[in-house]
């Protein structure tokens, strides 16, 4: 359906030593410069040490894309069931602590990517899998999906940002309810809670819906998109509106000298579609 210009599948001796014989995470770049990061570690995209190393590698490779979509090759069954608990069971306490740091750091690096990230969720996204999706900028969720943070059922707490990102997204009360009960929401409930940016209720896949959204974003000025993401993220950290508006001023200063800004004005004046180059 979509023209793929570049496929990043590491092979042979070029593959880093921590890649398994079957890559668990891969990435591609479309002709419209949309990066697709695919989770493919059957049966549940459980996130172990190798999975996280590969995910980090592929995220880094997509930093120059205009928009990134994170999706699962195992849809519609599962997006990600979270941390690999079988692997976790073999770890010492020190190893488990190091793994949680690795998981938290990788999820934060996803949030810190300079371009918009869309999580296309079709299936189960629980625990670390949902925390990964929470770190994305936008979430496209199918009605049949199931999402939740069940960690308290295992006598632990979400360790990759769930206790912080979820209340910021849906409010403190609802976040406490979901974390304390471990309840799973349907895709429809996730949309009602404000967790889903877009709900897919028909036969269209979440990837198709996410792709249409990404294509719309990719047509806009790349420098402006990156500057606006930075401005929103940094502004949300500020306690006062005065400081937040200073962040926006700095973001605007980034786009003023660009060729894209002049192209946008020229295209508007001439009644044509702008051709943005990220310059």
Choice among 81, 82, 123, 131 that is catalytic: 131
Catalytic residue among 33, 151, 191, 227: 151
Please pick, among 46, 81, 83, 133, the residue that the annotation labels catalytic.
83
94 in catalytic set? no
Q: What are phi and psi of 191, to 5 degrees?
A: -70, -40
Spatial separation of the C-alpha atoms in residues 21 and 174, rounded to whole Å: 42
CA–CA dist 224, 234 (Å, integer): 15
Q: Are 75 and 38 in contact (CB under 8 A)?
A: no
Please identify which residue in the block is written with the tokens 């997204």. Answer: 169
User: In the annotation, is 22 catalytic?
Assistant: no
- Would you call 128 a catalytic residue per the annotation? yes
Q: What is the Cα gyration radius of the chain?
A: 19
The single residue of 128, 129, 162, 187 carrying the catalytic annotation is 128
Tokens coding 116? 């918009």
Question: What's the Cα-to-Cα distance from 158 to each of 42, 55, 105, 162, rounded to whole Å?
Answer: 23, 19, 14, 5
Q: Is 109 a catalytic residue?
A: no
Residue-wise DSSP of 201-245: -SSS-HHHHHHHHHHHHHTS-HHHHHHHHHHHHHHHT-SSHHHHH
- Enzyme catalytic residues: 83, 128, 131, 151
């Amino acid at each position: 359906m979509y023209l793929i210009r570049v496929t990043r599948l590491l092979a042979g001796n070029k593959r880093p030593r921590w890649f398994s014989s079957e890559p668990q995470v891969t990435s591609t770049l479309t002709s419209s410069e949309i990066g697709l990061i695919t989770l493919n570690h059957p049966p549940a995209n459980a996130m172990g040490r190798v999975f996280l190393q590969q995910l980090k590698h592929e995220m880094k490779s997509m930093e120059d894309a205009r928009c990134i979509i994170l999706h699962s090759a195992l849809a519609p069954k599962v997006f990600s069931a979270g941390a690999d608990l079988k692997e976790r069971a073999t770890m010492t306490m020190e190893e488990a602590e190091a793994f949680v740091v690795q998981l938290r750091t990788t999820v934060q690096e996803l949030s810190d990517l300079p371009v918009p990230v869309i999580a296309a969720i079709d299936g189960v996204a629980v625990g670390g899998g949902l925390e990964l999706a929470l770190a994305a900028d936008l979430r496209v969720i199918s009605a049949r999906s199931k999402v939740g943070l069940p960690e308290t059922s295992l006598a632990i707490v979400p360790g990759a940002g769930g206790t912080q990102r979820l209340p910021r997204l849906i409010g403190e009360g609802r976040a406490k309810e979901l974390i304390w009960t471990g309840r799973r929401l349907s895709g429809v409930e996730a949309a009602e809670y404000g967790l889903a940016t877009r709900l897919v209720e028909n036969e269209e896949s979440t990837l198709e819906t996410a792709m249409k959204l990404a294509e719309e974003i990719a047509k806009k000025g790349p420098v402006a998109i990156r500057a606006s993401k930075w401005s929103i993220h940094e502004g949300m950290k500020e306690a006062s509106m005065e400081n937040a508006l200073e962040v926006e001023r700095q973001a605007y200063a980034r786009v003023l000298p660009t060729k894209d800004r002049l192209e946008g004005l020229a295209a508007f004046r001439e009644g044509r579609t702008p051709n943005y180059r990220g310059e």
